[in-house]
Homo-oligomer: A and B are copies of this chain.
Amino acid sequence: MTEIEELSRGRPVAIVGAGLVGSGWAIVYARAGLRVKMFDRDPEITRKAFALIAGQLARLHAHGLVAEDPAAILARITPAATLADAVEGAFYVQESVLERVDVKRQLMIDLDALAGPDLVVGSSTSGIPGSAFALGLGLSARVLIVHPVNPPYLVPVVELVPSPETVPATVAFADALMRAVGQAVVHVRKEVEGFVLNRLQAVLLREAWALVQDGVASCEDIDKTVRDGLGWRWSFMGPFETIDLNAPGGVADYAVRLGPLYQRIADSRRHPQPWDEGLIREVEAQRRERLGRDELEARRAWRDERLMAFAARRNAASDD
């Protein structure tokens, strides 16, 4: 039995809310072999979703990103006439309705009335913590945030955020499901506004906007700085691995060398929090657990190989 079969035991996923987010999820689940039932209070939105999904599946196939016949994948997705119809027999609900607390709360109440004892509900919200809409119900232990990047069938990262009432088994189940359908799981361990992804985007964007406001650089030049500079490494390494490889002695060395510059930059925008010794030790320890000190050099060679391959691909891409 595959991981997917073990998790689903032949039952479908229900997607509630058939807009852009719900449609993207339908592709992820159906591509992985799962049956998908789609529901939206507005049948016109569901109709549009099927057209969008069919078009995207054809393009994914053309790019070699799905091997299976797109028609076969599409055939696994069916519309549901009512919420009860969608949830009937489902092992998992992907909530993808409007980004409003009252709408999400009402849906949780409705799902609570319909759900069997082992139904798990993942919410696609990009910023509303579960505490705001998922507490105090029989279902609450089995609700968590499962936040995708758009479109999830291309960009794999998914943030999992439990509420204070979510039980660990629910998080473990969602983690296994996401890995089984090919997503990259990030565990957000506390309910912070914006979770991790939007917090990182927020601080970079705010500095970017401030630099424009101060007349330091144009939007295009800032885009170019990221697109032709920072983004290259971040797209296959992330910020910690990037700096870990950018000082002879790894990330702690980097922090000692460049921490003061970053502190001055931060102070000029009035952040607090210096990188103190305890934190440096903590980050260093986490990095060293991923990559031993004696592996740093080999990993830098790996980085350079990736950069070269990436550069070759970008050249090929700009030639066509």
Contact yes or no, A127 B308, CB < 8 A = no
Partner of A200, one of B192, B193, B207, B315: B207
Q: Is A237 an interface residue (CB 8 A)?
A: yes
Q: Is A223 an interface residue (CB 8 A)?
A: yes
Known: A192-B214, A205-B243, A234-B231. A270 touches B270 (CB 8 A): yes
Known: A225-B196, A234-B230. A202 touches B261 (CB 8 A): yes
Contact yes or no, A240 B222, CB < 8 A = yes
Residues in B neighbouring A157, C-beta threshold 8 A: 224-225, 228-229
Q: Is A64 an interface residue (CB 8 A)?
A: yes
Contact yes or no, B194 A265, CB < 8 A = yes
**How far is it, in angstroms, between the C-alpha of A283 and the C-alpha of B241 when the chains are bound?**
32
Contact yes or no, A190 B204, CB < 8 A = no
Count of identical protomers in the assembly: 2
Known: A224-B184, A227-B238, A229-B155. A208 touches B214 (CB 8 A): no
Question: CB within 8 Å of B: which of A258-281?
Answer: 261-262, 264-266, 268-273, 275, 279
A188 to chain B minimum Cβ distance, whole angstroms, is: 6
**How far is it, in angstroms, between the C-alpha of A116 and the C-alpha of B128 when the chains are bound?**
63
Residues in B neighbouring A272, C-beta threshold 8 A: 269-270
Q: Produce 1/0 per residue, A266-310, CB < 8 A to B.
A: 101111110100010011001100100000000000001011110
Known: A197-B230, A222-B196. A154 touches B204 (CB 8 A): no
**How far is it, in angstroms, between the C-alpha of A269 and the C-alpha of B261 when the chains are bound?**
19
Known: A234-B230, A236-B231, A315-B65. A205 touches B262 (CB 8 A): yes
Q: Is A71 an interface residue (CB 8 A)?
A: no
Q: A246's closest neighbor in chain B, by CB?
A: B150
Q: Produce 1/0 per residue, A165-206, CB < 8 A to B.
A: 000000000000000000011111110111011111111111
Contact yes or no, A203 B311, CB < 8 A = no
Residues in B neighbouring A65, C-beta threshold 8 A: 308, 311-312, 315
Known: A193-B261, A203-B206, A230-B200. A235 touches B238 (CB 8 A): no
Contact yes or no, B196 A216, CB < 8 A = yes
**How far is it, in angstroms, between the C-alpha of A231 and the C-alpha of B208 when the chains are bound?**
16
Known: A203-B269, A237-B227. A187 touches B279 (CB 8 A): no
Q: Is A212 an interface residue (CB 8 A)?
A: yes
A residues at B contact (CB < 8 Å): 59-60, 63-65, 127, 149-151, 154-157, 159, 184-190, 192-194, 196-241, 243, 246, 261-262, 264-266, 268-273, 275, 279, 282-283, 286-287, 290, 304, 306-309, 311-315, 317
A-B contact pairs, 16 of them (CB 8 A): A63-B309, A157-B225, A185-B224, A186-B224, A187-B218, A189-B215, A193-B261, A196-B216, A199-B207, A200-B225, A203-B271, A222-B240, A223-B240, A224-B238, A269-B273, A309-B317
Q: What are the nearest 10 A-B pairs in CB distance?
A: A223-B238, A157-B229, A235-B235, A231-B235, A231-B234, A184-B228, A157-B228, A227-B238, A202-B265, A203-B207
